[in-house]
Amino acid sequence: MDPALIGARLAGSAVTPLLKKLLVSEGPGAGLTGSARRIRLSGLVSFRGERRTLTEKDVRRLAGTLVERAATGPGEPPFPTDETEAVTDALAATLLALGDLDMDDVQAVALGHQALARRLRACAPPPDGLATPSILFLDTVTEAACRHILEFFTQRSTFVARTLVEQARGQADLHAKTDTLLSRVPHPDVRDADFERRYLAHLARKHGRLTIYGLDLHHSPDEWPLDAAYLSLEATGADGGVGTLDEDGRLLARQRDTVRADLALARHDRILLRGLAGSGKTTLVQWLTLAAAAHGRTEGMDYLHGRVPFVLPLRTLTRHGERLPAAADFLSAAGCPLTAPEGWADRVLAARRGLVLVDGIDEIPEAERGRARRWLRDLLAAYGDGNRWLVTSRPTAVGDDWLASDGFTELTLSAMSGAEVATFVRRWHRAAGPDAAPYESPLLDALRTTEGVARLATNPLMCGLICALHRDRRGFLPRGRMALYEAALSMLLSRRDRERDMGTPSGIALSEAPQIQLVQRLAYWLTLNGRTQMDRAHAESVVRSAVPAVQEASAHDPAAVFTHLLQRSGLLREPTADAVDFVHRTFQDYLAAKALVEQWDIGVLAAHASDDQWEDVIRMAVGHARPRECADILGELLAVADAAEDRETQLRVLVLAATALEDATEVSPGVRQEILTRTAAAIPPRSIDEARLLAKVGPAVLRLLGGPEELDDVDAYHSVITACHIRGDAALPYLARFAGHPALRVRSQLSYAWSNFEARTYAEEVVSRLDPSGLRYYVASPEQVDELIRLGLGRSRLEVDAKLPADALARLLHTCDPWSLTLRRDGQRPDLSALRHATRVRALTLRLRYDAVWSTDDLPERAPLGHLDLPDTLPADGLAGLARLTTLSSLNLWDVQPADFSPDAWRALAGLPALRTLAVAEDHLPSFPRGLVLEGVRTLRLECVGQPELGRLERSCPSLERLEVVGETGGTEVVTA
């Protein structure tokens, strides 16, 4: 018989009273107090205990009734009729098993009718001897009976209360177990926060020290706290920086944008930073890492608060030629000893909190740079938005706009100005201790008066070496770059330990020459393989194979010799436990060039003539070479230039040959003249980059450059840039010839170059002769302020650098009081108090930091201010404060961040009584309130990328006479006249 039919026959109302007889009714309540303790099923059945109302015989009669009702009906009987009594006995035994179960009603209901039936059958005697149909019938009847029993339990007044109690107890138990589990396995957020604290502390320790070259280890540490020794340098971008309007409201040409290198990421999320060897790229990476890891300690770097740095030196990541790492492998690939929680790097980058610092595109082989770009693009596709990205490279390692399509802004680290060199020298001597103090002033004098020394001191590395050698040689400095490196090697390899009576701490005493022979083998291998880092085991094997041929070293154990070089030479270091590199790339280049010349691998030099990684190597090879060898190398370079298929490669190789002449000890006049003649064929330079490249030739290129009378405006501009980048007085007569040039940007370039030269000499030779028509005098130092005041200049237009001290600025404005002023100021709360001295200013351009806090109260009160160009951030009191400037007729808001431009800002503009000319950006338009009218605006300048909808804008300016749309390139289209 179908089990469903049996269940239906037992579902009638007559069955329920029969099954209720098996059970005892309870009073209300949950059974938690008094004698009503937790009661098992054995206490709820009516055939057990003191309240028994049924006997086992009664239970059997009840079972018989259930069997009869289940089997009654038409059709074939569900079991053999001769087994009816046996089935009844088995069912009775099963029901009696209720009294043997160790559970209460709540637990029984939770168990379910099928599981309860299985429990009963397990407790009852097995139905031996029954046929299969009888056993199946018995199982079905038992389950149906259990369904009715459980239904009875749920109707008892105590059931709901007891169920709630049990649920509460279960939830409390579950909470306790969950808390225990969480305490043992912390939540990812907790693990992440804990790990980040450890990771940032590790970065602060690792990158918080700066090596000061040449310090006496016996008296002073060879490292110095980075936040005390770091010198912030400037980075320059492409054309298209600051835009201003002249007194007639015309748009002036934009100048090259200059920004503090460590603040560049505050303006741009993605930067490709170029810089020469030793210019401070890696130190900048350290500084940014420290600023993010030790937030609150570094003034001006608050924009990195909450950022998590990932320092990725490519020389380390590609040491074995392996694939560049995914985000999850950043730490291990960079040699970080800490183990991050699984998925941590992904979570940081996905949350847009990352600071990704990719250092040294130039330090991997050229063939691998395309792969590195694809790797970087994959990372950008996954994590680009919101994170900040810095990629560093030597200037010529990658082409122009190498990452421009990926949204990277290209900047170039500027050479150190005279003021920055002086600051570096003072900090170096302070770090070196009291014994170095007597050498500070003589060195500063030498840098001002000795052209050869001043030309070498252009970046932090060279400045550090000059300071160290000046002190080490008691005030004597070698002449020329090759002599400088030779003296530095002598200081590091032998003189320092010997002159400090160090003895032989490693148990090995080697003179200078054998150490150079061994170390240059490492430099040769690294350069030949396009690397700057190698495995420690491989480095040791290179030295081991070279030791037998070096007589002075052959008596020692090769492993001990390698350890001595690593620990005592001052040239090698272990950035990680299993890697070796040189303390600076320049020492590697110098020693590799020496090895190449000694082995006369001239073919190798020629083959790499257009490879940016080999530029310094080839120059230094010319310096190491004897006269005949030098002529051969230079001849090979000219042959490579002849075979070049494009102008860029040809010019690069020609400039390489010309600059190598400076390092040559002896070179025939014929070879020298041929190189200069060939270089002259590439003059005048055709671009800013070519102009800077030609400047590397040095003073010799000056006599090849044309004069103002033979050059058009563009060629004159590029030629002046070349001369401006040639340090020393040799360039001054040439630059002075352009002082009266009719092209404003030529004269502006001469003004901007002032900081590259000694202030008074340049002022007398060049600045005093400049035609002032339309010119802004650029002022960056107190010495330049003194010269402008002495010469009576700067009363028309001034542009002030952010580094000019506040007292010098006040003195400048009080004396000159120009009518046009471009003012740059640093700091979150810039000191603008000097503006009170500006009583004649009619055009003011403010350039402040991205997070600067300032007010319209800082603007000059007594001046007839007609044009105002605002910085990135609006004044704290909003634009409404400009209403007090009753003469303000022209306002440029191009640089204001769109997020700061609210409907209230537009309403404030509508309230400016004299406003006639307004310059805004396309990104400002979405916040323009509907129905607002700019009644007085007659000229509107809109900076945009695409084709904006202009109809609504024109309708909002009923007095509009002229609408100019300015594109990305600065081109202006007059839409309405």
Question: How do residues 260-281 score in pLDDT, each as one tens digit?
Answer: 888 889 888 999 998 876 788 8
Section 101-105 average pLDDT: 71
How high is the pLDDT of residue 319? 63
Section 411-418 average pLDDT: 83
pLDDT tier at 255, thresholds 50, 70, 90:
very low
Section 456-469 average pLDDT: 79
Is the peptide bond preceding residue 684 cis, with omega within 30 degrees of 0? yes
How high is the pLDDT of residue 391? 95
Nearest Cα to Cα of residue 42 among 98, 3, 91: 98
| 3-state SS string for 778-820 | EECCHHHHHHHHHHCCCCCEEEECCCCCHHHHHHHHHHHCCCE
Q: Which two tokens stand for residue 55?
A: 């006997």
* Report for 35-49, 483-497, 600-614, 938-952: range of highest mean pLDDT: 600-614
Q: What is the DSSP letter of 323?
A: P
- What gap in Å lies between CA 798 and CA 131, rounded to an integer? 114
- Residue 49, Ramachandran bin (φ over 0: left; ψ between -120 and 50: alpha; else beta): left
- Identify the weakest region by mean pLDDT among 533-547, 681-695, 735-749, 814-828: 681-695
Pick the residue with more confidence: 925 or 504?
925
Beta strands in 502-589 (DSSP E): 534-535, 572-573, 579-582
Longest CA span, the chain: 134
Q: To which residue do tokens 């002529």 refer?
A: 631
- What gap in Å lies between CA 826 and CA 300, rounded to an integer? 8
- pLDDT of 76 > 80? The answer is no
- pLDDT of 977 > 50? The answer is no
How high is the pLDDT of residue 51? 56
Q: Indicate the helix (H) or strand (E) that contains 273.
A: strand 270-274
How high is the pLDDT of residue 252? 42
How high is the pLDDT of residue 254? 41
How high is the pLDDT of residue 505? 47
Section 891-905 average pLDDT: 88
Contacts of 809 (CB under 8 A, 6+ apart): 785, 800, 823, 834
Number of Cβ within 10 Å of residue 496's Cβ equals 20
Nearest Cα to Cα of residue 164 among 263, 31, 276: 31
Residue 722 and residue 685 in contact, taking contact as beta carbons nearer than 8 Å: yes
- What gap in Å lies between CA 827 and CA 807, rounded to an integer? 16
- What gap in Å lies between CA 362 and CA 222, rounded to an integer? 27
pLDDT tier at 26, thresholds 50, 70, 90:
low
Pick the residue with more confidence: 886 or 20?
886
Q: What's phi and psi for 699, nearest 5 deg?
A: -55, -25
Contacts of 934 (CB under 8 A, 6+ apart): 909, 910, 915, 918, 956, 957
Q: Indicate the helix (H) or strand (E) that contains 310.
A: strand 308-313
Contacts of 344 (CB under 8 A, 6+ apart): 191, 192, 195
Pick the residue with more confidence: 307 or 184?
307
- pLDDT of 697 > 80? The answer is no
Compute CA 442 distance to the chain's CA centroid, rounded to the nearest angstrom: 40
Section 25-36 average pLDDT: 47
- Residue 467, Ramachandran bin (φ over 0: left; ψ between -120 and 50: alpha; else beta): alpha
* Report for 110-119, 377-386, 477-486: range of highest mean pLDDT: 377-386
Nearest Cα to Cα of residue 153 among 140, 166, 141: 166
- pLDDT of 584 > 50? The answer is yes
How high is the pLDDT of residue 249? 38
How high is the pLDDT of residue 33? 43
Contacts of 434 (CB under 8 A, 6+ apart): none
The mean pLDDT value of the chain amounts to 82
- Residue 660, Ramachandran bin (φ over 0: left; ψ between -120 and 50: alpha; else beta): alpha
- pLDDT of 821 > 90? The answer is yes
List, for residues 116-131, the tens digit of each pLDDT value.
888 888 888 888 788 8
The amino acid at 649: T
How high is the pLDDT of residue 552? 83
- What gap in Å lies between CA 911 and CA 934, rounded to an integer? 8
pLDDT tier at 241, thresholds 50, 70, 90:
very low
Q: What percent of the chain has pLDDT over 70?
A: 84
Section 206-229 average pLDDT: 62
- pLDDT of 290 > 60? The answer is yes
Q: What percent of the chain has pLDDT over 90?
A: 27
- Identify the weakest region by mean pLDDT among 236-245, 487-496, 543-552: 236-245
- What gap in Å lies between CA 595 and CA 951, rounded to an integer? 71
How high is the pLDDT of residue 184? 62
Residue 713 vs residues 118, 589, 742, 789: alpha-carbon distances, Å = 102, 39, 8, 30
pLDDT tier at 96, thresholds 50, 70, 90:
confident
List, for residues 551-580, the tens digit of each pLDDT value.
888 878 888 888 888 877 777 877 777 888
- pLDDT of 755 > 70? The answer is yes
- pLDDT of 621 > 90? The answer is yes
Q: To which residue do tokens 């006479």 refer?
A: 961
- Identify the weakest region by mean pLDDT among 171-180, 422-431, 448-457: 448-457
Q: Which two tokens stand for residue 873?
A: 């951030």
* Report for 329-333, 703-707, 808-812, 851-855: range of highest mean pLDDT: 808-812
Section 81-88 average pLDDT: 86
Compute CA 728 distance to the chain's CA centroid, rounded to the nearest angstrom: 36
- What gap in Å lies between CA 339 and CA 199, rounded to an integer? 9
Helices 132-155, 113-123: crossing angle, 10 deg rounding:
120
Contacts of 127 (CB under 8 A, 6+ apart): 86, 87, 90, 134, 135, 138
